Structure 1
Amino acid sequence: GAFGRKGMAINFVTNDERQPLRDIEHYYNTQIEELPMNIADLI
């Protein structure tokens, strides 16, 4: 996040972009969580 605050980024990913995204996860040793189809489920 900005100025030491926590933040979130939302990216829309096509099927063709899934593997490069997994490669980025692997490189940075992290996991990018997939949001549910219905965002209201998070509330």
Structure 2
Amino acid sequence: MMTLNLVPFVSVDKMMQLVLQLGIERVLTDLASEIEAD
């Protein structure tokens, strides 16, 4: 039996709120770090 990794859906509105709160540079830097670590 295959196990699926489930990721909760994040709406565009919520994602934009997060980006505006944290700043685009931090969001992209943190995202790149997570991708590299994976």
Same fold (TM over 0.5): no
* TM-score computed with the length of structure 2 as normaliser: 0.43
Question: Whose RCO is larger (CA < 8 A, sep 6+)?
Answer: 2
* TM-score computed with the length of structure 1 as normaliser: 0.40
Q: Which has the higher helix share?
A: 2
